């Protein structure tokens, strides 16, 4: 029942809608089954499985909206949650930005479910952890990691005729491996829709090599350096950039895409169509990408299709809401659910080989915003930072605090590699000039 079929979802949600006395009703059914294993100090510490199924009902009278949720599915409970949402709607103030539900839609065929991930057993999780712990012990290192796989089913139905269904799978793995004296640290993360692609042994070897190689880090003066950012080092900054592309924020003068018009001046209020980045920058979303597939519809049931956000360095599309699209007489553009940045032909090894003086960064973390208008962020390097000289890694260096904007970063591209999946997105390794490190950090 937790992972319901499309037929079952349609039958259940049709029954819920039949109870409605409101002007409009929308129902969201979400089911999840997941399993996990956690280890620390080379020993498994926790493991478990969980499942849940929740029905959320939103009723609307005019512009008054009420929402209620339940996880009981007998007829009396289904009618009760509908009545509760209607009671709340009648008590709610009017929402001036309310828009009617979408009618029947056409969707791309989803391909984000893999039976292999659904068939993971506790023994599989234990073996995956052992494949990480065993080589750590053999290298006299200490590993701490977490593995979780999940299967999700989502269905949306409303009284205007829309119905959408999607079943997806996902697995996430990350491990930090340190030397026993704490002077060296390595980290790696992997995530896939298909668990068959996950090899915790080879992934852990990356963290082992980083851990052993980062011992006895030397100090370097902060400043502007050419950096080679592994995908885990740039995904946070890029994600913040993509999330800041909302049209309304730009039109209202609250984002890096705002056009600053003088008082009385007429013109576009945002930077749609303007070139803002290196012409190699191409960021897009594609629900059916083979490596990072997502549901072919947004949370309100509107279809998602392949869409460019930035192409040839030009702002090509900006996500908005149905209300803002109508207000500004533009098309409604839902968010993509993930992002894909196109890459280039250079491998990470080639980038290092072609660098006279630079820094290899494994990961950025504790990223915090400083200025939303320029997308200036600060944060720290972590788990393996290395000095490059004349095409070779010379030695590990102490971590830095950085102050940098992804806008500047994407204008200082030297080279791009093949994109890799990280946090549900596709990001290439990048070689960037003049990346700003502002101070040293004692963290390992």
pLDDT in tens, 383-435: 999 999 999 999 999 999 999 999 999 999 999 999 999 999 999 999 999 99
Q: Phi, psi (5° rounding) for residue 126?
A: -65, -40
pTM: 0.95
Q: How many Cβ atoms from other residues are within 10 Å of residue 352's Cβ?
A: 18
Give, in order, the Cα–Cα distances in Å from 88 to each of 29, 69, 84, 170, 355. 20, 12, 6, 35, 62
- Is pLDDT at 96 greater than 70 in this prediction? yes
Check: CB of residue 297 under 8 Å from CB of residue 164.
yes
Write the pLDDT tens digit of every residue in 111-154: 899 999 999 999 999 999 999 999 999 999 999 999 999 999 99
Which of these, 315, 336, 284, 332, lies nearest to 108 by C-alpha position?
A: 336
Query: Which residues make up the CATH 3.30.2290.10 domain(s) of the chain?
Result: 6-211
The correct answer on CATH 3.60.21.10 for the domain covering 6-211 is no
Beta bridge partners of 280: none
Query: What is d(CA 314, CA 282) in angstroms, rounded to the nearest whole number?
Result: 9
Measured N-to-C along each axis, helices 200-213 and 122-138 cross at an angle, to the nearest 10 degrees, of 30
Query: What is d(CA 427, CA 342) in angstroms, rounded to the nearest whole number?
Result: 7
Check: CB of residue 325 under 8 Å from CB of residue 302.
no
Which of these, 154, 165, 167, 162, lies nearest to 26 by C-alpha position?
A: 162
- Is pLDDT at 281 greater than 70 in this prediction? yes
Lowest average pLDDT, out of 91-100, 193-202, 215-224, 262-271, goes to 262-271
Work out the end-to-end distance of the chain between its first and last CA atoms, rounded to an integer number of angstroms: 46
* Structure confidence at residue 10 (pLDDT): 97
Query: What is d(CA 226, CA 412) in angstroms, rounded to the nearest whole number?
Result: 9
* Structure confidence at residue 1 (pLDDT): 59
């Amino acid at each position: 029942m937790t992972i319901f079929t499309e037929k079952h979802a349609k039958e259940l949600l049709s029954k819920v809608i039949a109870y409605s006395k409101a002007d409009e009703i929308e129902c969201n059914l979400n089911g999840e089954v997941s399993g996990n294993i956690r280890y620390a100090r080379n020993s498994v510490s926790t493991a478990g499985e969980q499942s849940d199924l929740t029905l959320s009902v939103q009723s609307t009278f005019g512009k008054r909206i009420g929402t209620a949720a339940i996880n009981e599915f007998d007829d009396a409970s289904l009618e009760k949650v509908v009545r509760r949402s209607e009671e709340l709607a009648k008590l709610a103030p009017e929402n001036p930005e309310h828009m009617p539900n979408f009618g029947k839609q056409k969707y791309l065929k989803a391909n984000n479910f893999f039976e292999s991930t659904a068939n993971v057993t506790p023994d599989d999780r234990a073996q995956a952890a052992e494949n990480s712990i065993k080589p750590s012990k053999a290298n006299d290192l200490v590993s701490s990691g977490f593995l979780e796989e999940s299967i999700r089913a989502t269905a949306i139905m409303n009284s205007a005729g829309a119905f959408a269904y999607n079943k997806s799978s996902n697995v996430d793995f990350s491990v930090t491996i340190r030397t026993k004296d704490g002077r060296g640290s390595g980290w790696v993360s992997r995530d896939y829709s298909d668990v068959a692609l996950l090899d915790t042994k080879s992934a852990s070897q990356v963290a082992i090599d980083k851990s052993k190689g980062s011992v006895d880090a030397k100090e370097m003066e902060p400043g502007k350096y050419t950096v080679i950012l592994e995908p885990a080092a740039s995904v946070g900054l890029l994600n913040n950039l993509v999330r800041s592309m909302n049209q309304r924020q730009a039109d209202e003068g609250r984002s890096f895409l705002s056009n600053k018009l003088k008082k009385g001046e007429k013109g576009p209020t945002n930077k749609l169509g303007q070139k803002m980045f290196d012409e190699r920058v191409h960021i897009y979303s594609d629900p059916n990408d083979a490596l990072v597939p997502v549901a072919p519809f947004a949370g309100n049931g509107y279809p998602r299709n392949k869409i460019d956000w930035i192409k040839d360095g030009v702002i090509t599309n900006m996500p908005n809401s149905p209300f803002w699209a109508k207000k500004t007489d533009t098309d409604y553009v839902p968010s993509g659910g993930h992002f894909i940045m196109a890459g280039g032909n250079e491998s990470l090894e080639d980038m290092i080989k072609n660098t006279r003086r630079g820094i290899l960064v494994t990961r950025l973390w504790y990223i915090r915003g400083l200025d939303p208008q320029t997308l200036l962020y600060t944060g720290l390097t972590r788990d393996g930072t290395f000095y490059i000289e004349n095409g070779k890694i010379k030695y590990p260096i102490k971590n830095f605090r950085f102050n940098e904007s992804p806008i500047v970063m994407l204008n200082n591209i030297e080279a791009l590699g093949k994109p890799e999946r990280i946090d549900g997105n596709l990001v290439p390794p990048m070689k960037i000039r003049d990346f700003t490190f502002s101070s040293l950090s004692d963290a390992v």
